Amino acid sequence: MPVAPAKGEDGPMKVTVVGGGIAGLTCALSLHAAGFEPRVYEAARKVGAVGVGINLLPHAVRELSELGLDAELASVALPPHRLSYHDRTGEVLWEEPLGRAAGYHWPQYSVHRGRLQILLLAAVRERLGPDSVRTGLLFQRFEQTPGGVRAHFLDRSSGLLVVDDADVLVGADGIDSVVRSRLYPDEGPPKGNGVHMWRGVAHHPHVLDGRSIVVAGGTPGAKFVAYPVEDPATGAGDALVNWVLEVRHGPSAPTLGGAGRRVTAAEARAGLSSWQLPWIEPATLAERSSAIFEYPMLDRDPLPRWSFGRVTLLGDAAHPMYPMGMNGGSQSIIDTRVLAWCLAREDDPVAALRRYDRMRRPTVNAIVLANRNLGPEEIIARAEEDGGALPAGWAERIATRYKRLGRATVAQVNSNSSWTVRAIAADRE
């Protein structure tokens, strides 16, 4: 028999989710599937198909499949079969299989971030109702009472204040989280490592086998990444390719909650001109990208605590990390599933948020710190230092150590249960 979800004073538990990005929307779907009543508040006036590429690791794909999104996800994403590390001349340094090719029961997916967000938004509105995601509402503050939490928002169109009362408040509002700033008012801005990423998407002929994620170069600031995020219409056609060039130069920063400085095609061509990679045409990427934006590589120090009474954090609001190991989006999805699982397991929402904190924070904090030390991309950094490919077995040990840290090896993912609330029923019968 199913687990009865925890209730508020007037029926199912009500949860305010601040932030309508991938983390916030997945959180709403996870909470709804567990029997709760989430409401999503987004500061942007419209949720659109913006952004570039993102990778979802098999353990995250599994959880989205458990939410009934497998067919929709497969229709907009591409499953890469291998990760291929190269030096600056294009020579292979090390490769490993990905997704089902590696033995996982679920694929890995590369997908355009905007398309993923629109997919999630459509699912939320279909399942929770058309008014379940409210836009143009800027979070201001909250206050807690013994029986709930009240959130205050500014309506950006009318200038009026909007108040929402719920049993739990979840901050899923990204690296510049206002919810986090209310919990940690003295924290300050995100931290950077001096690297800036030029990011774009462009139609380009197949890179290698058309199913590879390619990372070339060595240390941060001297690296090029490319991978397809959709299939072309025909085998000989162009694919939509996500690309990233890392550079180091004077400081520039993104606006809060938005894109960074726009890079011109001429500037991008100049930056890409020193990369002589035989399997891709960098100049074509620069010319065909409708927009190229620069983002500084940023994270924040790991927090000692996410949950305060009836308020907690998840996703980039809790653990923004450098983009090593393709982990950021995937860990955010796991956050949402564990949060719903904990709320379903505990009668007291405060105890549930403490449990979620204990279960997720140590693991993800360790990944944040590992990514500061390059994560699995230590492989190409060391290869650059040594002037060639690493000795046999060394690269594999680095990659495996990183996967174990995130509990994402083939054995760990395939043998562990999902975070579906229905799976808890057997424990309570």
Q: pLDDT tens, 260-288?
A: 789 999 999 999 988 889 989 888 899 99
Question: pTM for the whole thing?
Answer: 0.92
In a domain, 404, yes or no: no
Nearest to 66 by CA among 313, 416, 406, 316: 416
In a domain, 157, yes or no: yes
| Angle between helix 328-345 and helix 58-66 axes, rounded to 10 deg | 40
Q: State the greatest distance between any 2 C-alpha atoms of the chain, in Å, as a whole number.
A: 66
State residue 45's pLDDT score.
85
State residue 233's pLDDT score.
54
Contact 356, 338 (CB under 8 A): yes
Positive or negative: CA dihedral 27, 192, 110, 376: negative
Structural domain containing residue 135? 7-55+71-83+112-188+301-376+418-428
In a domain, 94, yes or no: no
Taking residue 81's Cβ as centre, other Cβ atoms within 10 Å add up to 18
Distance CA 345, CA 89 (A): 53
Give me the number of domains the chain comprises: 1
Contact 319, 10 (CB under 8 A): no
Distance from the Cα of residue 59 to its chain's centroid: 13
Helix (H) or strand (E) holding 420: none
CATH number, domain with residue 342: 3.50.50.60
Low-confidence ranges of the chain (pLDDT < 50): 1-6, 253-258, 423-429
Contact 319, 367 (CB under 8 A): yes
In a domain, 193, yes or no: no
In a domain, 133, yes or no: yes
State residue 282's pLDDT score.
85
In a domain, 388, yes or no: no
Contact 349, 5 (CB under 8 A): no
What backbone torsions phi and psi does residue 16 show, to the nearest 5 degrees? -90, 125
**DSSP letter assigned to residue 308:** B
Distance CA 80, CA 207 (A): 12
Instruction: Read off the tokens for 212.
Output: 């590879």
Distance CA 179, CA 182 (A): 5
Contact 140, 161 (CB under 8 A): yes
In a domain, 26, yes or no: yes
In a domain, 385, yes or no: no
Nearest to 305 by CA among 323, 288, 319: 319
Give the residues across from 217 on adjacent strands.
Answer: 223
Contact 45, 135 (CB under 8 A): yes
